Amino acid sequence: MDRCGLQSGFSLLELIVVVVLLGILASAGGLLILQPIEAYDDQVRRQQLVDQGEMALRQIARDVRQALPNSVRVTPVGAGFAVEMVNTVDGARYRDEFGGEFTTTNDTLEFSASDSDFNLLGFFNTSNPLAAGRRLVIYNTSATGIYTDAALNNNPGIVTTAGTTVSLSTVTPATDDPEHRVNMNPAFQFAQQSPGQRVFVIDGPTSYICNPATSQIVRYSNYAFSAAQPTPPVGGSSGVVISQLSGCNMTYTAGTSQRGGILTVEITITDSGESISLLHQVHVVNVP
């Protein structure tokens, strides 16, 4: 019996058809997998851009909120902007009248003449607010004045001069609560009283410069005071806050000494041809 006629197999044409069909199925399956992966990558990229922008805006807002009242100033820089403020380390209310066992001239702050010692109504919040190089400020009402006076070491009675050594101690009467006492050497005369009896401790200016030409927002700190706003500051320390900046806009409505100001910051960040824009407004307390 001839078994050759019973043998079967695949022809070359059938093999080619199978390979082509498998290729089509593989391509279709690859597209089904690729699209969700690309969508996930896009979502992750957008989330990273939003997170980067929000973190930068929150950092700017944090520095602005702890800035010295009436010290924020904004200057255009090329296609971007620079914002500068004076950083406050601490603040408290000074004693301007006698009370309880606090009845000596060392207990209250005098404004009619130079004074070397005065008490706070309580304590500073930080453990060592009066470190070397820090200054006291009372009733600052001008962004221009505070930078000029601090830079040129002028003495209009708003900020203590660079040569004034400020130290801190604690006084504890027998029946009253203890209070911090501030000593200024040499004695210093503040020109005007603060309506809220506020005294601030400052250590120096802080700046943010957003420059689309370099695709960055950079934070500067620990540099010297300058009468004219430096763009960028020289010396001190700096760090990149955003590295994919494509657009930036800043506007500042200063308000008054009785009404707070508003700093509006708008940034655009771009990655892989996709951009996101964020806008943030910061309330600036200007009551000195």
pLDDT higher than threshold 60 for residue 181: yes
**pLDDT-derived band at 111, boundaries 50, 70, 90:** very high
State the DSSP H helix or E strand holding residue 89, giving kind and residue range, or none if neither. strand 80-93
pLDDT higher than threshold 60 for residue 3: no
Instruction: Give residue 7's pLDDT.
Output: 56
In order of 69, 86, 139, 203, the CA distances from 282 in angstroms are 13, 16, 22, 22
Instruction: Give residue 248's pLDDT.
Output: 94
More confident residue, 13 or 119: 119
pLDDT higher than threshold 60 for residue 232: yes
Instruction: Give residue 4's pLDDT.
Output: 54
Domain boundaries, the chain: 52-86+203-284, 88-202
The Cα 154–Cα 141 span in angstroms is 16
Instruction: Give residue 94's pLDDT.
Output: 97
pLDDT higher than threshold 70 for residue 9: no
Question: Average pLDDT in the 174-199 region?
Answer: 95
Question: Average pLDDT in the 261-265 region?
Answer: 93
pLDDT higher than threshold 60 for residue 6: no
Question: Average pLDDT in the 84-97 region?
Answer: 96
Could you tell me the two tokens for 259? 């009404």
Residue 5 DSSP class: G
At 13-53, the pLDDT tens digits run 777 777 877 777 777 766 677 777 777 677 777 888 889 89
**pLDDT-derived band at 75, boundaries 50, 70, 90:** very high
**pLDDT-derived band at 257, boundaries 50, 70, 90:** low
Question: Average pLDDT in the 120-146 region?
Answer: 92
Q: What percent of the chain has pLDDT over 70?
A: 93
Question: Average pLDDT in the 219-225 region?
Answer: 96
For 24-53, give the DSSP string. HHHHHHHHHHHHHHHHHHHHHHHHHHHHHH
pLDDT higher than threshold 70 for residue 258: no
pLDDT higher than threshold 80 for residue 57: yes
Q: What is the mean pLDDT of the chain?
A: 89
The Cα 19–Cα 17 span in angstroms is 6
Prediction pTM value: 0.84
